[in-house]
Amino acid sequence: MKSYKTIKKTGLSEDIIKKSRFICQVKRISSEEEGRNFISQIKKEHHKANHSCSAMIIGENGEIKRSSDDGEPSGTAGVPMLTVLEKQGLTNIVVVVTRYFGGIKLGAGGLIRAYAGSVAKALKEIGIVEIKELQGLAVELTYPQYQTFANFLESQGLQEVDPDFSVTVTTHLFLDKEAVQTTLEDLTDFYHGKVSVQEIGSKVVEVDLIPMNQSET
């Protein structure tokens, strides 16, 4: 599978801008239908709101993109929201920003900043992950060897998974496929050729990322 970035979890963020209440709700999705159902659900929950604008991107390559201004002036809500998602490189995500009008008009520029800023704020608060497939290695070590294994992990920036302590220690590493050969060579050098390593199945993991600095526009 190709790695891609998406939202960490379903969540929401609220903001008050010139007395208008903006509620941004975010959900990870796998299809356009799922995204539309989420948008409909939000509109029903906030049927008294003035607008519930939306944007979604779907597919590992972000091939499906949709946005809606939901009654706001054309180009002031849905597209700015979608642009935030694009700049972050996100996919398989839908965002809905619900606005309760507070009596003060924001103007086109103010609306763009408000809707884009609501999405950027939600992404920062909720978190972004990279979903990727990693190749597994099973490493068998003697107990004396295992005492120095932490030094190897630190030098490689790796973490072990599910060590099993029996007659010997069998532990596991998961890393990018491109790094497998180099890691095998480094392990062999570290233990002077006296180490047993086997490739095992791959594993899909989620790695926490820090959102890029995002302009409200």
Give the residue, 216 or 66, on which the prediction is more confident: 66
List the domain range (segments joined by +) for residue 107.
4-126
The CATH number of residue 144's host domain is 3.30.70.120
77-100, pLDDT tens digit by residue?
Answer: 999 999 999 999 999 999 999 999
118 lies in some domain: yes
Residue 4 contacts residue 92 (beta carbons within 8 Å): yes
- 65 and 146 fall within a common domain: no
8 and 105 in a single domain? The answer is yes
User: What's the CA gap between 58 and 35, in Å, rounded?
Assistant: 9
List the single range of 41-55, 123-137, 198-212 with lowest mean pLDDT.
Answer: 198-212
The pair of three-digit structure tokens given for residue 185, joined into one six-digit string: 């060579």
Least confident of 29-33, 42-46, 60-64: 60-64
Q: What is the pTM of this model?
A: 0.78
Distances 190 to 24, 116, 144, 185 between C-alpha atoms, Å: 50, 50, 13, 9
Per-residue confidence band for 76, with pLDDT thresholds at 50, 70 and 90: very high
pLDDT value at position 23?
Answer: 98
197 & 140 share domain:
yes
**What total of structural domains would you count in the chain?**
2
The CA distances from residue 18 to 69, 107, 188, in Å, are 20, 11, 63
- Looking at the structure, tell me whether residues 144 and 91 fall in a common domain: no
65 and 145 both lie in a single domain = no
- 215 in any annotated domain: no
Tens-place pLDDT, residues 173-212: 999 989 999 999 999 999 999 999 999 988 888 888 865 5
Rounded mean pLDDT, 33-58: 97
